[in-house]
Amino acid sequence: MATSRFLGHLESRKNIAGSACGFVGLVLTFTGVAGPYWPVVVAGLYGAGALVAPPERPPLPDFPDPSAQLDELRGDFERLGHYLADVELPPAASGRLTELTALLGALLEPGWVADALAADPEGVHVVARAVRQDVPEAVDSFVRTRWWSRLTPGTEPPERHLEQQLGLLHEEAGRLAAALRETEAGRQETHTRYLQDRRQ
């Protein structure tokens, strides 16, 4: 560990700049300019060079690229599908859930749609949050609340909340799909203008 730190210091910008300035001090010494104070001159120039050298820049963290994030998200979406297949839902809620998962699946489908999604970090976050948090939480809270509702009849049916939650999530995913479509349409319009300008 100490050896690697020492080697790192030898290769650092500060040491290289300080050594270059210290070499100038040796040249001044051999030419007689530094006189009897040459050790102070060499050390001072080395220190000055080390001070003015730019600081070391640590390497950027190696985060996975967006396509790798979507691959992982597709695996989570598949696991979510297995979980939802084991849950019994009322017909209305089941229909809304089917619409929502179909839209999420279309956004995650490998190809140009997923490529457009990968270019939108906020969009990836929206889909990831729906898959990993919002949908499982909505369904699980319905299952737990439904059990308590059987013990306390007359309370508000939990499926109403589930249907509302799934509807809101579908609207959010729909807004994301519309935004991605607008981005693609903008690219198309930009290319049209480029071709028109090229004729002039």
Domain membership of residue 59 (yes or no) is no
pLDDT of residue 150: 66
- The one-letter amino acid at 168: L
Lowest mean pLDDT among 26-30, 73-77, 124-128, 193-197: 26-30
Between CA 32 and CA 174 the distance in angstroms is: 80
- The CA-atom distances, in angstroms, between 157 and each of 33, 71, 161 are 94, 37, 8
pLDDT of residue 40: 67
| Alpha-carbon 49 to chain mean position | 39
Domain membership of residue 60 (yes or no) is no
Between CA 21 and CA 45 the distance in angstroms is: 5
42 and 118 both lie in a single domain: no
Decide: 140 and 158 in contact? Cβ < 8 Å.
no
29: nearest Cα among 18, 17, 21, 41: 41
41 and 139 both lie in a single domain: no
Between CA 126 and CA 148 the distance in angstroms is: 31
Q: At a CB cut-off of 8 Å and minimum separation 6, what does 172 contact?
A: 126, 130
pLDDT of residue 127: 95
Q: What percent of the chain has pLDDT over 70?
A: 70
Between CA 138 and CA 156 the distance in angstroms is: 16
Domain membership of residue 164 (yes or no) is yes
Domain count, the chain: 2
Domain membership of residue 15 (yes or no) is yes
- The one-letter amino acid at 126: V
In the block, tokens 């995650």 appear at: 108
Whole-model pTM: value is 0.65
In the block, tokens 């500060």 appear at: 14
Is the CA virtual torsion 34, 40, 45, 46 positive or negative? positive
Tokens representing 7 are: 């080697």
46 and 74 both lie in a single domain: no
Tokens representing 21 are: 């300035």
Q: What percent of the chain has pLDDT over 90?
A: 40
In the block, tokens 């809620």 appear at: 93
Q: pLDDT tens digits, residue range 9-23?
A: 545 666 676 677 667
Tokens representing 122 are: 């906020």
Domain membership of residue 58 (yes or no) is no
Between CA 90 and CA 108 the distance in angstroms is: 26
Q: Is the pLDDT of residue 96 over 70?
A: yes
72 and 44 both lie in a single domain: no
| Domain around 27 | 2-52
100 and 128 both lie in a single domain: yes
Q: pLDDT tens digits, residue range 101-158?
A: 999 999 999 888 888 898 888 999 999 999 999 999 999 999 988 877 766 666 677 8
40 and 103 both lie in a single domain: no
> Regarding predicted confidence, which is higher, 161 or 35?
161
Domain membership of residue 57 (yes or no) is no
43 and 110 both lie in a single domain: no
Q: What's the pLDDT band for 191 if we cut at 50, 70, 90?
A: confident
